[in-house]
Amino acid sequence: MLSPTRFLIPVVLGLALTSCSDSLSVTVQRVQDKTVEICSYMPTSQSVLDILKAGGPTTQVPFAIATAICDAVLQWQQANRMKTAIAQDCPRVNGVCVEGTFVDKDEKEKDSKEN
């Protein structure tokens, strides 16, 4: 006979993982929104997830992650424009290459209101 505990453990773990992934997607969205608000840059979801996985003090609050992304992107842009020795292949936060695009804040706000 199957024990109820054997059945419940996978169900409880599945529910915990679902709620964790939901909160993770909310965190990613908050980071993206805050980054666009601060510097009009939309990092990819994967870049934000990789930064969260890398850990570190900047990964505790979406605002801190967004600020770190903006700092990295703007410094990277400036270094490449000036062709300095510190120019890298991509902007980095905690060693993670940040990919994304600059966006028009007004367009982002318009799109979010339409959805």
Digit-coded pLDDT (tens) for 5-41? 443 344 343 434 344 567 889 999 999 999 999 999 9
Per-domain residue ranges for the chain?
Answer: 26-107
**pTM listed for this prediction:** 0.71
Question: What's the per-residue H, E or C state across the chain?
Answer: CCCHHHHHHHHHHHHHHHHHHHHHHHHHHHHHHHHHHHHCEEECHHHHHHHHHHCCHHHCCHHHHHHHHHHHHHHHHHHHHHCCCCCCCCCEECCEECCEEECCHHHHHHHHHHC
pLDDT tens digits, 54-80: 987 666 789 999 999 999 999 998 888
pLDDT at 80: 82
